């Protein structure tokens, strides 16, 4: 049975862990898989419960961290090389930037027959200055050239990788969308909604707005707070907002709420904005809310938008990354990144017309369950692996 070594940046709460876990679990019988990755950051929630729930025991590389640290990165590289030499995989498949850099270098140096990398997003815009971004692009071009396959998670992302940033050649770049078990977003929804709204004191007459993700600069939660202030200025006072997640920006965002004279809390209460921290079961706040927002300056394929459509929730989002590839037009309003005024107007329009807009989202669950099922993900990935191994054998 062919062996796969699957490497993830870190086991923090998010869509990547779901995808690597489903692939590791549901390709059993065709492929043997060892899943490894780094630990979550201090301000993040661990996602190890996801692979554990599927009967998987990932191996943790403590030195594999999000930030650049030459000493720890070298240790992680050496540990991964040792794992490769012991495990002797036929395929090394890396997911996201740090795992892709260290994992692929180790795989190349160990002579692994097939090396695959998935871009779950990219850091070519909005993360670093021009010089550092240029260096990163050149490194990614080198790694892509030596890899047997590059996976983009949307058609738009493939266009960015092959045309806009010229990271990889079109013929070796394959589009394989993410895959999940989305059934929980359409089951027991009334009970989940009742529990969430009772816990946080949300009245039936109030509109609950949720944003889910890391509290990091690239996610631009300032735009979310500004937009709430705009809606309030326009006379809409029956809204409650829930910032689900944690991260380096939390204290600054709370101060910004104070500057905007918007009441906030870190738990249940009557304030307009609640910083809930991480909530493992995303289906609960999505059942409890009426509207989901995303304000990022850069994204790959944001999982919260897929989950919101599975929960039949309307969306107000910036138009970045592969969002147009995953969002049904009837299910959301989009505005270009940098156009704060249009985002604010879209949020106001959504709040004022919510009953009508919610009626349009009923078809969304069927769409996302078909396009983003983990069964489809595993089927697509198996076909690619089979082709790559067949090609590698014919060349050996």
* CATH 3.40.50.2000 domain residues, the chain: 3-179+373-395, 183-371
Question: Could you report the per-residue pLDDT of 127-150, keeping only the tens digit for each?
Answer: 788 888 899 999 999 999 999 999
The pLDDT tens digits of the residues spanning 274-331 come to 999 999 899 999 999 999 999 999 887 889 999 999 999 999 999 998 898 889 999 9
Confidence (pTM):
0.86
**In degrees rounded to 5, what are phi and psi of residue 152?**
-105, 150
Number of alpha carbons in the 13 Å side-chain half-sphere of residue 120: 23
Closest residue by Cα to residue 6 from 31, 29, 40, 39: 31
State the Cα–Cα distance between residues 214 and 66, nearest whole angstrom.
13
| Fold designation for 3-179+373-395 | Rossmann fold (3.40.50)
Length of the chain: 396
Torsion, Cα of 329, 334, 336, 341 (10° steps): 150
Dihedral, CA atoms, 229, 307, 315, 367, nearest 10 degrees?
A: 180
> Is residue 208 classed as helix, strand or coil in its secondary structure?
strand
Q: If you classify domain 183-371 with CATH, what class do you get?
A: alpha beta
pLDDT tens figures, 29-69: 999 999 999 999 887 889 999 999 999 999 999 999 988 89
């Amino acid at each position: 049975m062919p062996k796969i070594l699957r490497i993830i940046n870190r086991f923090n709460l998010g869509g990547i862990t779901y995808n690597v876990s489903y692939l590791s679990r549901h390709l059993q019988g065709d492929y043997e898989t060892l899943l490894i990755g780094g630990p979550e950051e201090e301000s993040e929630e661990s996602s190890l419960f996801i692979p554990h729930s599927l009967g998987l025991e990932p191996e943790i590389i403590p030195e594999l961290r999000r930030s650049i640290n030459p000493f720890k990165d070298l240790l992680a590289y050496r540990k991964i090389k040792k794992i490769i030499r012991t495990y002797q995989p036929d395929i090394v498949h890396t997911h996201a930037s740090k795992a892709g850099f260290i994992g692929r270098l180790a795989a190349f140096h160990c002579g692994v027959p097939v090396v695959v990398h998935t871009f779950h997003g990219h850091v070519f815009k909005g993360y670093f200055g021009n010089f550092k971004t240029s260096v990163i692009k050149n490194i990614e071009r080198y790694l892509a050239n030596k890899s047997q396959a590059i996976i983009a998670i949307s058609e738009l992302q493939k266009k960015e990788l092959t045309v806009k940033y010229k990271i990889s050649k079109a013929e070796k770049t394959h589009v394989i969308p993410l895959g999940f078990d989305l059934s929980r977003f359409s089951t027991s929804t009334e009970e989940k909604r009742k529990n969430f709204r009772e816990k946080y004191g949300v009245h039936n007459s109030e509109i609950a707005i949720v944003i889910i993700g890391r509290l990091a600069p690239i996610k631009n939660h300032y735009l979310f707070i500004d937009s709430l202030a705009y809606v309030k200025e326009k006379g809409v006072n029956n809204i409650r907002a829930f910032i689900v997640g944690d991260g380096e920006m939390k204290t600054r965002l709370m101060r910004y709420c104070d500057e905007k004279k918007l009441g906030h809390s870190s738990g249940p209460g009557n304030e307009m904005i609640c910083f809930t921290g991480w909530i493992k079961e995303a289906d609960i706040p999505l059942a409890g809310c009426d509207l989901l927002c995303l304000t990022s300056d850069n994204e790959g394929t944001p999982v919260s938008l897929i989950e919101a459509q599975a929960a039949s929730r309307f969306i107000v989002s910036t138009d970045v990354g592969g969002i147009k590839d995953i969002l049904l037009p009837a299910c959301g309003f989009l505005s270009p990144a940098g156009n704060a005024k249009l985002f604010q107007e879209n949020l106001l329009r959504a709040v004022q017309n919510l009953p009508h807009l919610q009626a349009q989202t009923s078809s969304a669950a069927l769409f996302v369950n078909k396009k983003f099922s983990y069964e489809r993900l595993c089927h697509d990935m198996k076909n690619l692996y089979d082709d790559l191994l067949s090609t590698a054998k014919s060349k050996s």
